[in-house]
Amino acid sequence: MKTIAFYDAKRYDREYFDKVNNNRFHIRYFESKLNADTVSLAKGADAVCAFVNDDIGAEVLDKLVELGISIVAMRCAGYNNVDIKSAYGRVHVVHVPAYSPYAVAEHAMGLLLALNRKLHRAYNRTREHNFSLDGLMGMDLHGKTIGIIGTGRIGRVFADICKGFGMRVVAYDPFPVANAPFEYVSVDELCRVSDVISLHCPLTKDTYHIINEDSIAKMKDGVYLINTSRGSLIDSQALMNGLKSGKIGGAGLDVYEEESDFFYEDYSNKILRDDRLAALISMPNVILTSHQAFFTQEAMSAIAATTLDNLWAYFKGGPLPNEICYRCSSGTCKKSENSRCF
């Protein structure tokens, strides 16, 4: 039986992975995040399972190779925390490209609804027996324009939800979907015409800080920003400036640029040593959740099943349709020849 070193394990991870495992693997759960200091915990394991805030850089990959580990299974869609160029030819990297697009898209709409109708503020008021409506006015979403950056499965599901609210949908994606039921525009045009902008694209060198001082300057006054994808899609300082000036009317964030030091942990009894994060949380027109958009029963079941199926296929010598490498996007990957990236 192969052994998996499972990093950054939470109670819910154990519950869902143990349920799906069915004694196929021996899973060693570690609460520690994977990094250069903790990689040695994987000694004796055959594979590593990692998450969004683990560090799978060149140093960690070198150590994994020394330990005889040749596969890293990401239990998430994103892999920007993996040095895939350093991994190529040495460590196979698999991920979960899709689990529940509805989970993330519905959370994005939840953030927008709460932000627009000030539900978070109303909830706090009524708990203190304050039933005043001052400062709680929102706007009709019907007839407004939503700009969606990234039209993969999540972005398209979110577009359908927005259409159900009677919103006009415009979108930007460098790889447009054929016959899409919405209009594709440039990023500049999207910023110019949108009342709400929602991010659903992966983090790459091209999308890093796609929302920045310049793009914010082109937006409508009072625009709402929603981000359920990756924190570094938004320049945090530019966001702060836009919120303070009133250019940005509000932000619904499930991710944060420096989240790896904080998200998924309990800091309720500690001083938050990130002034920017503390400032964002304190703003009445910001709702920040802790990267929980994926967190539904259906999504967790799918994540566990796909992650373990990826590992099962690897050890059985089968094809790896969910493998990724730095050559995949360039079209020079060998997966089409041998069903694996290398």
- Give catalytic residue positions: 230, 259, 291
Query: How many Å apart are CA 57 and CA 20, to the nearest integer?
Result: 29
Within 8 A by CB and 6+ apart from 129, the residues are none
The amino acid present at 27, given as its one-letter code, is: I
- What does each C-alpha distance from 232 to 79, 107, 198, 255, 259 come to in angstroms? 13, 19, 14, 9, 10
* Residue 82: strand pairing partners: 56
Count CB-CB contacts under 10 A for residue 336.
7
Q: Within 10 A of 138 (CB to CB), how many other CB atoms are there?
A: 13
Identify the H or E element spanning 89: none
Instruction: Give helix then strand counts, H and E, for the chain.
Output: 12, 12
Closest CA to 97 of 283, 308, 306, 330: 306
